[in-house]
Structure 1
């Protein structure tokens, strides 16, 4: 993965702009460029023309927007809003005004998050074969792939298949008609603001959500998958939509939330949503990132709330693209994973995005028989330094 190239330019205008940006973004948060999560191909790091803002208790957002000439675009939570900016007011300028206002607790850009696989520049390899679906048996590349054998899913399913548990998948949506999805919970499309969170578009991330959800369905066959679309097929999603997805999943009773995406800098809005979910007992699982480094992306960096999952290969070795280090909690297969793809098809794809749902599905199995989620960590098989407690083992988590 390539780091963002910064070209030197002459001129006092560029220098002045750089100084303004540093000052305006040095308040309660900072914009940190880490690894290749910030890419040269990215047009922007946040949405232009809007910001996120949390009011202090007892303060009225209407008074604030009237005073500063802003507008309320959306309400994310009781005190948290997405605000629109007037023409001519930049995001850094608005943040400087808001963070200096005594009625505001914090303000930040509406950051853009990216699906991990885009920065790895990997793509799905779609299987062109026509294959009949027989639950538990066909396609064999799906039910009997090396990852299923390593997790000992066949033996685990003799104990439970995850019935009664809901796993929310915040991603690009899914193909709800795919035969691997036998139980779906009602989801939502936060991109198009409707109740049909289906895969759309033809961007490089098309199929990502279906594949991630397909892995959850492979591991926990009877668990309900709750599809929440917060990312486009270009693999980009706004922090505001991720916040709403986390809170929606929590309020709708999801016990597990899978997050196969990342951001180079923490978002306070997302962090508060994660804290809300954790307080309700939701298990939060995130991909560790594909930079091959020890620098964690957000939200995998939130070790107080989130389980960070690295990727391993068929021989239980760290995948060369996978991040690793002290922030990692667990690892799971993430190389040449075979899963559902839109149109009733299947595909192979690699990345930590596809490691995380193996953990999410295993947590669902454990919760379904009344066991504590941390059994998944305590029974993992140690496979090397920097890969957390070890590689997840579904059968061991259920039987030991």
Structure 2
């Protein structure tokens, strides 16, 4: 059945009869929901999709981000210099019928309403004949008779808009409620892993739980559960942890180790083995990529990626050895075109050591990503001394947040910070197959390394610069929780879910 041509709404609200509330919405400038006429009987799904994708890249439209061909619905990005409402008023390509912006509701959630349909539930005593007569009398027709008695998806009457149509039907005494017809995307709830201490990993899922005696705030996390519906990692994406080493037999880590093949992974001593001589490196490894769903213990941000621990001395070590370790890792990246390398460095140097900065530059030139902790001196690096090497332009510099979204009291800040992540009371692995809590920007950095690894796992054809851009462009703004620190906590808290949605929206 052909779709009615409808109007662009100007009043974005209606009275919800059933919930006794006014439902109000704000149009989003960067996304449109468009509907399209049914495909012809001779047109294959592939041809139809190609046509829609082509049409969605014309004028101010910037490509499909979500698509349901069966229902004839596409969500399309709008150029940043344009505006969704203005684009709908100008008109959309002929391959589409109607358009409406995506909306934010009063809870700040994004809603995708079809521009030319609403849904109506009639009162129980209203039979089918009376219901369909009312629909017809009001200038509409049934699009789908749902299985629930008296529940219909109907067309918005010609030259009306969806909110106008909802208000019109809600005025009818025979109607229990009417509301926009809505499509949901990526709504599967990722299963919670069975790791026994997952509930203490507030950085991965913050429900407001109390960890180490501190109650968090729901949603202040890196959004891994929803990200894992896309990917939880790829073994060809390797997180290199340059640190104090790793407990090589830890049950949450050992299964994710890359094959060593006799290589010397110890840059602190001549024994060749990167066994952790403390606990810092093991802890960092666990946050980045501990195995999930293996029963006891914890899991990491990217549990199906692999780990390469390189041991350096962080208590009395030589900077030259640290540069060596970075160069070793970037050499692996250069020699392994089928793999992707994320290098995590949760440490500092005492100053601007050229060999380390050169090693970072080399690593990036060779296609790797390099992440450094911002430091735990609690200072503003715009007015106090900066912390090297984290402030280097080719490194991703990570500040730490607590479970309420506030800057950790110890975390350095400044315009040199690129992003922030959970870093207070972080539970992870320690040697002797155990687990414990640690705090520091050292704990924030592997959260970011894990998110970068997930982005690359979703699309290994991305360059390291594209991964960094996706990471930074899809952060959550934390300025409201941190007054007075505008521009000093980077682009915001890393969000794996948003970053992976952006990856999947790429053409």
> Does TM-score exceed 0.5, indicating one fold?
yes
1:158 equivalent in structure 2: 229
1: CA distance, partners of 2:391 / 2:490: 13
What does residue 389 of structure 1 align with?
491
- 1:151-185 CA distance string (max 9 Å, x none): 12112112112212011111000001112113112
> Could you tell me which residue of structure 1 aligns to residue 195 of structure 2?
138
Give a deviation string over 1:32-84, Cα, whole Å, max 9, x none: xxxxxxxxxxxxxxxxxxxxxxxxxxxxxxxxxxxxxxxxxxxxxxxxxxxxx
> Is the radius of gyration larger for structure 1 or structure 2?
2
For residue 321 of structure 2, the aligned residue among 236, 241, 252 is 241
Task: Report the TM-score when normalising by structure 2.
Answer: 0.49
Structure 1 residue runs of 5 or longer lacking an equivalent are 1-134, 201-205
- 2:203 maps to 1:147: yes
The alignment status of 1:197 with 2:280, answered yes or no, reads no
2:319–2:349 Cα contact (<8 Å) kept: no
Structure 2: how far apart are the matches of 1:241 and 1:358?
Answer: 25
- Detail structure 1 runs of 4+ shifted over 4 Å in the superposition: none
Higher relative contact order (CA 8 A, sep 6+): 1
1:297 aligns with 2:387: yes
Matches within 5 A, 1:1-400: 136-140=193-197, 142=198, 145-149=201-205, 150-163=221-234, 164-181=236-253, 182-185=255-258, 186=260, 188-200=265-277, 206-217=278-289, 218-231=300-313, 235-253=315-333, 255-295=341-381, 296-303=386-393, 305-370=394-459, 371=462, 372-373=466-467, 374-384=469-479, 385=486, 386-400=488-502
Work out whether residues 212 and 357 of structure 1, in 8 Å CA contact, stay in contact via their aligned partners in 2.
yes
Residue 144 (structure 1) shift: 5.2
CA displacement 1:318-372 (0-9 Å, x = unmatched): 0011000100000000000000010010000100000000000100000112153
Gaps of 5+ in 2: 1-191, 206-220, 290-299, 334-339, 480-485, 503-507
TM superposition shift of 1:266? 0.6
* Partner residue, 1:106: none
- Is the 2:349–2:387 contact (alpha carbons within 8 Å) kept by the matching residues of 1? yes
Cα shift readout 1:186-238 (whole Å, capped 9, x = no counterpart): 360011234310112xxxxx200000011001001111111000125xx3321
Q: Structure 1 residue 139: deviation in Å?
A: 2.6
Please report how far the alpha carbon of residue 146 of structure 1 lies from its aligned counterpart in structure 2 after TM superposition: 1.1
Partners in 1 of 2:499 and 2:316 — Cα distance? 34
Aligned-pair Cα RMSD in Å: 1.6
